[in-house]
Structure 1
Amino acid sequence: MSKESLKNNTVLHDTASENAGEETKRQFEYMEKVKGHVADLEKELGRKPTACVVTFGCQMNARDSEKLLGVLTKVGFEEVETEDADFVIYNTCTVRDNADQRVFGRLGYVGGIKKKKPWMRIALCGCMMQEQSVIEKIQKSYRHVDLIFGTHNIFKFAELLNTMFESDRMIIDIWKDTDQIVEDLPIVRKYKFKSGINIMFGCNNFCTYCIVPYVRGRERSRSPKDIIREIEYLASDGVKEIMLLGQNVNSYGKGLPENEQLSFAELLSEVCKVDGIERVRFMTSHPKDLSDDLIKVIAENEKVARHIHLPLQSGSDEILKKMNRHYTKESFLLLVNKIKQAIPDVSITTDIIVGFPGETDSDVDETIDVVRKAAFDNAFTFIYSKRTGTPAAGWEQVPESVSKPNFDRLLKVVQETARERASRFTGQTHRVLVEEINEQDSSLVTGRMSNNTLVHFPGDADLIGEFVDVKLNECHGFYYTGERVFE
């Protein structure tokens, strides 16, 4: 294993080694070929070529972007933040329509830049690219795009780059699905002290509003040995906090060989045994299969963050059934109560959709009732966005004149409840992982508590990446100001 510090907190995780499989070795061979093309471009430009990765969507996409940057850095590009780079790649999300529109807007913008920089290359990948209608629109209206690929063949990025450099046509490589998991490719981490870890890919739940199973494919879990090996490497490289990532982490382990089968609760317990890792997060849990064993592991292990994201989506039994969520209002509230009894200092956040087809004012009343009874620490509320290809897209839609007022009254209750919950730690001292210099005041640093709440307090850059004790002096709604406590 080798590792190379690139800039600031950015770290290259490059593990081509005896552990690498045949596909991994094949992709490293393509990286060597691409290095030659990048070197030629460097001679032509008289400087090192630049690359920018723009990420839309979830933590899984953010992790995928780190993999893209790993390859781009390996082959000789310099990472930059601006879209006038020599190579720009958009890692897309398609959960809601506004994400799609933002991507098309950015494509129009970089198209103008490319007219002045004919050597510039533009690529698209991610969930949005798994939709045929999107590909057709790009082929028709955005001919300046050079490379398009989806969610299932991201491990082929080096090979696709090579094809792009050797071709003068638009390269499109979209797979409908895959059962492959390719380990040990380069990764550029955004932070030295924390990292996401994919433990599984895809989703089998088929909620009727959700496009994810269609664009991310069926569930497939990584080998627990590979997960632990990666976490041990990260710990040896200074990572103190990790987030285990999956569309539904509670489903982890299904489909693994019999000699490797492990539940998510068992995996979480093993992860906590890795020396050097001081905090473990996970995202996301589906309420239908959050087990008593998982609650027990969290309750008994201080390393596990006191934060559970538990998407409700609706508090109406009728709407939950139409959504294919496999739980009821009552069972959800029973689960919340069980979690809070076992883990008194836990913070529970949620997702809620308003305006799902067939939803009435009384259905929203049921959702508001759950928000009050569950007392969420925060809720991410969305107006339903129709996604072509999902069952709900073909049902009669709720007009905005109905959904918008219901969204507003739900949001009001969410904010009131969250504000009450947030203030409960005032005056207490909590362990905080310092993440950055405060954006508004450089005399302050910003960190996160175990429950994911932000804290601002006096400090300098030397504290970044360190766990420190902070007294929470004042609550400001969704964050605290405080002061460091010395032993």
Structure 2
Amino acid sequence: MKVYIETYGCALNRSDEALMRESITGKGHVLVNDPGDADAIIINTCTVRLDTEYHMVKRIRELYKLSMEAGKKLIVAGCMARAQPYTVSRIAPGASLLSPQNSPRVVEVLEAPGRVVMINGVRARDRIGVYVENRVAPIPVQEGCLSNCSFCISRHARRVLVSHSIDAVVKAVGKAVRDGAVEVQLTGMDLGTYGMDLYRARRLPDLIRRIVENVRGNYMLRVGMINPEHLRHILEDLVKVVADAENVYKFLHIPLQSGSNRVLKLMRRNYTVEEYLEMVDRVKSSIPEVSIATDIIVGHPMESEEDFAETLRVIEEAGFERVHLAGYSMRPLTCSAAMQQLPTSVRKERVLKALRVVEKVGMRVRARYVGTSVRCFITEHTGTWVCRLTNYIPVVIRGGAGSTLDYGKWVEVLVEEATFFDLRGRLP
């Protein structure tokens, strides 16, 4: 069969696509780049936000119409198939459903004569899809979550915690590096929980050590998101391994979500703003050059003007190097959806106000690099070369460097300009 795959969403979905591709080609089927050329179409869905769901619904309808008119099989895979199977079945009643956990079994669905619904089950441990795109490889080390955030639908799609063994992750990282990756991203829904199901302990620092010790090559390792309630248990050990390892970015992604303790309680986030800031201070005191990224949601149900003002104050005072800012998005199956919602106009206004603060803080943080010479690692080429400081801040290289540059090369760049998002400069 000729099979077309279209994937949306996070790195976990990309890894699931890699597993599907491996299974499909392993059984002698052929992957194609156009749904019109395919015998079967797979859409690997995301449903993290309401606007994402709207886009998924629109695209599923388009592909379902194509499949009905041309006699093609349609498989709706990914998080929407697991978390919202009734929604998918309503808009595409003849489509098969495949949950993320069943991605390696995609061939069973492809080869079945009729519609198949395969949305139960737990992910097989140590089946890691290695996906290298533009020399970057996201490697999932765990799936699932032990938190119970009131706003999150993703936990309904990937609820059960399944950590891949240290040996399996090391093997996957090694394969990614051999396949040309110069940046390896350890990903998961919450890396702070890594190992709790498998080793009965939080083992992220041990995992990083094993990778650094056993995977040789020219690459940098980036550690993914860690929720504060689990970070507190591994903080000292994690800081030490990140500080000591030369090929680990001095970068941590620690989501705050709100600067108001009242809203954090509504969100069911198990820490206070004060505890969060104390952890960030401890990280910065141990790794002076560290870059901290965070997530902020504004406009959560029952967020008052005072709550919002507290969030703006924390963004300003903490001086985050990067803020992933989002307006609250109501999702089905979540507790927040049952709370009193704020008017859309209020949410939009708060996003714009928060964005101005985020941009101001980002400019302030990056302005200190202007006029200095920085050492950075080349990871991207998008019309021009882009490299990363050791703390993961991106630097756009201007001018005609030409053939002297390449992926995985360390270079010195004279920084001429800063934006709230990146730095820009030339080779000296």
TM norm. shorter chain > 0.5:
yes
Task: Please give the alpha-carbon distance, in whole angstroms, between the structure 2 residues aligned to 1:382 and 1:408.
Answer: 10
Q: Summarize the Cα distance change of 1:277–1:183 in structure 2 as closer, same or farther, 3 Å threshold.
A: farther
Do the aligned partners of 1:70 and 1:188 also contact (CA within 8 Å) in 2? no
Equivalent runs, 1:458-469 vs 2, <5 Å: 458-460=400-402, 463-469=405-411
CA separation in 2, counterparts of 1:70 and 1:484?
A: 41
Scaled by the length of structure 2, the TM-score of the pair is 0.90
**Residues 13, 100 of structure 2: 8 Å contact kept:** no
Q: Give the letter for the 1:77 counterpart.
A: V
Residue aligning to 1:448: 388
Candidates 54, 69, 73, aligned match of 1:121: 73
**Structure 1 gap ranges (5+):** 1-37, 39-48, 439-443
How big is the alpha-carbon RMSD for the aligned residues of Structure 1 and Structure 2?
2.4
Once the 2 structures are TM-superposed, how far is the Cα of residue 172 of structure 1 from its aligned partner?
1.6
1:315 counterpart residue number: 259
Closer, same or farther: CA 297–325 of 1 in aligned 2, 3 Å: same
Determine the structure 1 residue equivalent to 2:132: 189
Q: Equivalences for 1:70-469 in 2 at 5 Å? A: 70-74=22-26, 75-80=28-33, 82-86=34-38, 87-114=40-67, 118-131=70-83, 134-143=84-93, 145=95, 147-163=96-112, 167=113, 169-175=114-120, 177-178=121-122, 180-183=124-127, 187=130, 189-191=132-134, 193-257=135-199, 263-273=203-213, 274-276=215-217, 278-290=219-231, 291-426=235-370, 427-438=372-383, 444-457=384-397, 458-460=400-402, 463-469=405-411
Q: Is contact 1:454–1:479 with CA below 8 Å preserved after alignment?
A: yes
Deviation >6 Å, runs of 4+: none
- How far off its partner does 1:112 sit? 4.5
In structure 2, relative to structure 1, the CA distance for the partners of 1:309 and 1:79 (3 Å cut) is: farther
1:170-215 CA-to-partner distances (Å, cap 9, x unmatched) read: 222111x42632537x755324x43121111111101111112221
CA distance in 1, matches of 2:123, 2:23: 22
Distance 1:333 1:470, change over 3 A: same
Pairwise CA distance, 1:126: 0.9
Q: Give the paired residue count.
A: 418
CA pair 455-326 structure 1, distance change in 2 beyond 3 A: same
1:77 to partner: Cα distance = 1.8
2:130/2:138 contact within 8 Å kept: no
Given that residues 352 and 382 in structure 1 are in contact (C-alpha distance below 8 angstroms), is that contact kept between their aligned partners in structure 2? Answer: yes
Q: CA deviation at 1:96?
A: 0.8
Q: How far, CA to CA, are the matches of 1:156 and 1:72 in structure 2?
A: 9
The CA deviation at 1:149 is 0.8
Cα–Cα, structure 1 residues 170 and 339, in superposed 2: closer, same or farther, change >3 Å? Answer: same
Moved more, 316-325 or 120-129: 120-129
What letter matches 1:92 in structure 2? Answer: T
Aligned counterparts of 1:309 and 1:275: Cα–Cα separation in 2: 25
Equivalent residue letter for 1:293 = D
The alpha-carbon distance between structure 1 residues 209 and 437, as it changes in their structure 2 partners (threshold 3 A), is closer
The aligned residue for residue 13 of structure 1 is none
Q: Structure 1 residue 376: deviation in Å?
A: 1.0
Distance 1:371 1:292 in 2: 24
- State how far apart, in whole Å, the 2-side matches of 1:252 and 1:317 are: 26
How far the C-alpha of 1:461 sits from its partner, in A, is 7.2
Q: Structure 2: how far apart are the matches of 1:221 and 1:110? A: 34
Cα distance in 2 for residues equivalent to 1:107 and 1:462: 45
> How far did 1:121 drift?
3.2
**Residues 376 and 389, structure 2, Cα contact 8 Å, conserved in 1:** yes
Structure 2 CA distance, aligned partners of 1:424 and 1:375?
13
SS of residue in 1 equivalent to 2:20: helix
| 1:429–1:108 Cα change, 3 Å | same
Q: CA deviation at 1:277?
A: 5.2
How far apart are the structure 2 equivalents of 1:206 and 1:270? 30
Distance 1:415 1:288 in 2: 28
TM-aligned CA distance change 1:222 to 1:459, over 3 Å = same
**Pair 1:425–1:65, CA change in 2 (3 A):** farther
1:58 to 10, 15, 18: 10
- 1:384-411 deviation line (CA, Å, top 9, x unaligned): 1111111211111112232222222111
Aligned residues of 1:203 and 1:216 also touching (Cα < 8 A): yes
TM-score by length of 1: 0.80
> Contact 1:436–1:461 at 8 Å: present in 2 too?
no
CA drift of 1:450 comes to 3.4
Check 1:210–1:188 CA distance in 2 against 1; reply closer, same or farther (3 A cut): closer
Q: Paired residue for 2:422? A: 479
Greater Cα offset, 307-316 or 153-162? 153-162
Once the two structures are overlaid, the 10-residue window that deviates more, 364-373 or 388-397, is 388-397
Q: Gaps spanning 5+ residues in structure 2: where?
A: none
The amino acid that maps onto 1:280 is: L
- 2:263–2:307: 8 Å Cα contact kept in structure 1? yes
Match of 2:74, SS?
Answer: strand
Read off the aligned partner of 1:378 and give its amino acid letter. R
Task: Map 1:31-46 onto structure 2 (within 5 A).
Answer: 38=1
Q: Which amino acid aligns with 1:483?
A: R
Alpha-carbon distance in 2 for matches of 1:173, 1:218: 16
Letter in 2 for 1:465: Y
With over 3 angstroms needed to count, the CA separation of the structure-2 counterparts of 1:464 and 1:148, relative to structure 1, is farther
Within 2, Cα distance between the matches of 1:70 and 1:270? 26
After superposition, the C-alpha distances for 1:49-89 in whole angstroms (9 at most, x for unaligned) are 3x443222222122222222333444332342x44441432
